[in-house]
Structure 1
Amino acid sequence: MTEAPSRVSATPAALALLAEIQREHGPVLFHQSGGCCDGSSPMCYPQGDFLVGEADVKLGEIGGAPFFIGAAQYEAWKHTELVIDAVPGRGGMFSLDNGREQRFHTRSCLIRDRAGRDAPGG
């Protein structure tokens, strides 16, 4: 597993949903894969129930929960910051946000350098 500079943040709505899940399940982690299904939905698991792979990249933490992304997805999104939000709907089948009528949703924005230019490759 590698660790990138923090490139993930969360909206107040996502932090509220996360706090609800943490009260119920204890420590959790997020994993964003590049899969075809729910590709814009990070999956939320109890810590210890999901094995992080050597190729996964830790983007940072939100609400005290580590946030990982698959290596291939990181390569595609390495010039972006991920913003995790909560929106109406059902979470992924195995994600702890499922069945809550809210789900986590990933938005992204291009990282800009200090001069206001888009990051290289962006």
Structure 2
Amino acid sequence: MSLDELGRIVGRITVAGESSPRVELTPAATALLERLWAVHGPLMFHQSGGCCDGSSPMCYPLGDFITSDADVLLGELDLPSGTVPFWMSAEQFAYWRHTYLIVDVVAGRGSGFSVEAPEGVRFLIRSRLMDSE
């Protein structure tokens, strides 16, 4: 598990040819994922970039959302319970190529398809431009 100076879990690099990570979890997102893992088992994120709920990161039991060549694995987030892959549609990645993603949690109801929905909270992305090398 790789933590930054704020106690955030930083994802492992998975995009070919890159030397810096693209995604991380806030401590609140990590705590929620640990609770969800205890209920649902291994988890994954996917962000499609579609309208409405599709623009939010969706959390699924691992394997419940089928990825393909139309998706990019942006990072693998190592929790104490196990690894959570973070996928994004390739089409959305083309727009967000220069964006670093910070997965956080806020109060409110998100999509009924994402496993945190019954918790009264939802995952959301905070972002910044990628650091240039």
> How many aligned residue pairs are there?
112
- Give runs of ≥4 in structure 1 deviating > 3 Å: none
TM-score (norm 2): 0.79
Q: Which runs of no fewer than 5 residues in structure 1 stay unpaired?
A: 115-122
Counterpart amino acid of residue 27 in structure 2:
P
Cα separation, 2, equivalents of 1:50 and 1:39: 13
TM-score (norm 1): 0.86
Deviation at 1:91, TM superposition (A): 2.4
Q: Which runs of no fewer than 5 residues in structure 2 stay unpaired?
A: 1-13
Pairwise CA RMSD of aligned residues?
Answer: 1.3
User: Are 1:50 and 2:69 an aligned pair?
Assistant: no
Higher relative contact order (CA 8 A, sep 6+): 1
- Which residue matches 1:85? 104
Q: Could you report, residue by residue, the CA deviation over 1:51-82 in whole angstroms, capped at 9, with x for unpaired residues? A: 01212000002232000000111010010110
Deviation at 1:38, TM superposition (A): 2.2
Does the 8 A contact of 1:40 with 1:107 survive in 2? no
- Which residue matches 1:95? 114
